[in-house]
Amino acid sequence: MTRVLRAAIFDVDGVLVDSPHERAWREALAGFADPAGLTTAFYQSHVAGKPRQEGAWAVLEHLGGAGATAHAAAYAERKQALIDQLIAEGRFVAFPDAIRLAVAMKQAGLRLALASSSKNADAMLARVNLPDGGTLLSLFDADLSGRDVPRGKPDPTLFLLAADAVGVPPDQCVVVEDAPAGIEAAHAGGMASLGVARLDDAALLRAAGADLVVTSLDQLDLAALGSGLLRASAVSESIHV
């Protein structure tokens, strides 16, 4: 079956911006565990897309040994101080393909929402200027980033709140994510999911249940999206959602 897609819900870190979150998690780890053990693969599988405390606990449980998780709060606090500093210094960039996709979706009449677990998303997007004089943050109709929810991704609550905020039923929303936990959350919420594999992690996103995985958001066939079809324009394979 096909369905009308009337809204797009975007994650931020790794989707809209190349954020310094992974760097901050790694640098903050010194003194708690060996920072070299925090690989990109582990970060994507167990930290990306999750609330700060859950991410800290996951890292220390994996790398810190017995009793290390007792320091999760201190680790998370140190990471937050580092990310605040990196953002203030402008140590991040927006992905041009993501900006092009968001602008094109907005022009096509889709409602746009932000739904990142990060409480730093607004600070980054407000610093990204668009050619029309607005900011990347101002492009979105609703912003749920950093909203406290009982459970983070892969629980779908944050995405469901985003769908409600833009007044679109979940089954008419597509979620744009780079993390397996976010793809799982979209699936749990009854939404279509588009995975962007920027870190050679397409297999992880497919395993999480992504309806379509691309390596660049420029590959999405926007004309087909209006017909409820997720399709990469550069390939023949497509998936009805």
Task: List, for residues 75-98, the tens digit of each pLDDT value.
Answer: 999 999 998 898 888 889 999 999
Domains present along the chain, CATH in parentheses? 7-18+92-240 (3.40.50.1000), 21-88 (1.10.150.240)
CA atoms within 13 A on the CB side of 220: 25
| Segment among 60-74, 75-89, 99-113 with least mean pLDDT | 60-74
Q: Tokens for 177, please give them.
A: 């994510």
Q: Give the residue from 188, 137, 193, 140 showing the smallest Cα distance to 162.
A: 140
Options 13, 97, 178, 211, the catalytic residue: 13
pLDDT attached to residue 136: 96
What's the CA gap between 45 and 59, in Å, rounded? Answer: 11
Q: Tell me, yes or no, if 11 is annotated catalytic.
A: yes
Residue 238 has pLDDT above 50, yes or no: no
Q: Decide if 222 contacts 105 (C-beta within 8 A).
A: yes
Options 11, 97, 143, 201, the catalytic residue: 11
Q: Tokens for 139, please give them.
A: 């492009």
Residue 10 has pLDDT above 80, yes or no: yes
